[in-house]
Structure 1
Amino acid sequence: MNNTSKPLTVRILEKDYRIACPPEEQAILFRTADYVNQAMVQVKKSSQSLSTERVAVLAALNIARELIENNPNSLQQPMHDTHAEELIERIDAALQEFGHP
């Protein structure tokens, strides 16, 4: 992310998350957060006894499956290191908010 990133609040599964985001990516961040929220709500509806962590993992697997089904070549395209590092940082930040190390 660049120096002009500003913290935004997104709501996923009734919990607020502050995420730094450049202005040009704000719209996609909100759309993405809404999509993730919908996926997690759908998983949560299927079993109220699931932990939030398990709901997140199952929702991530469902989203990844959708991506692969819609673009079978996506598994063969290498992810750029900087993009992978950014995703890891975002996942780590989200896990910390859930109270996981």
Structure 2
Amino acid sequence: MTDAVKLLDISIMGREFRVACPAHEEETLLQAVQLLDARMHEIRTAGKVIGIEKIAMMTALNMTHEFLTAKVEGGFDFSDFQRKIGNISSTIDAVLQE
């Protein structure tokens, strides 16, 4: 059984996008949009990264790291997770300053 595709208008960092998704995945997609938007705003508010593309890249890197940590370890130690993200952020900050 195939599910109908639904077009949704979403907003991330004040930018509007139209995306398509299966109707049964709409709620999950909207949750993903909220999470992504919140994470991008956090990075922008921290003030270490300037420019929407760099903010998007940092957010993608952070969220991918979270995913891989949870996937590989079947969960994660939050303090270890924070340390790793801090190290990654410091490394990226140093590279961006060069």
Common fold by TM > 0.5: yes
In the alignment, the residues of structure 2 paired with residue 21 and residue 62 of structure 1 have an alpha-carbon distance, to the nearest angstrom, of 24
Aligned ranges for residues 4-43 of structure 1 at < 5 Å? Answer: 4-43=4-43
Distance 1:68 1:3, change over 3 A: closer
In the alignment, the residues of structure 2 paired with residue 17 and residue 30 of structure 1 have an alpha-carbon distance, to the nearest angstrom, of 12
Equivalent residue, structure 2, for 1:56: 56
For residue 25 of structure 2, what is the amino acid of its counterpart?
A: E
For residue 60 of structure 2, what is the amino acid of its counterpart?
A: A
CA positional deviation for 1:4: 2.2
Equivalent residue, structure 1, for 2:80: none
Equivalent residue, structure 1, for 2:88: none
In the alignment, the residues of structure 2 paired with residue 68 and residue 3 of structure 1 have an alpha-carbon distance, to the nearest angstrom, of 29
SS at match of 2:9: strand
Equivalent residue, structure 1, for 2:71: 71
Distance 1:67 1:49, change over 3 A: closer
Q: State the Cα deviation string for residues 10-52 of structure 1 (Å, max 9, x = none).
A: 1111111110111101000000111111111111111276110
For CA contacts below 8 A with separation 6 or more, give which structure has more relative contact order.
1
Q: How many pairs align?
A: 73
CA positional deviation for 1:7: 0.9
SS at match of 1:31: helix
SS at match of 1:18: strand
Instruction: Provide the TM-score with structure 1 as the length reference.
Output: 0.64
SS at match of 2:50: coil
Equivalent residue, structure 2, for 1:87: none
CA positional deviation for 1:73: 6.1
Spell out structure 1 runs of 4+ moving beyond 3 A. Answer: none
Structural RMSD (CA): 2.1
Question: Residue 43 of structure 2 contacts residue 49 of structure 2 at CA under 8 Å; is this kept in 1?
Answer: no
Instruction: Provide the TM-score with structure 2 as the length reference.
Output: 0.66
Aligned ranges for residues 77-88 of structure 1 at < 5 Å? Answer: none
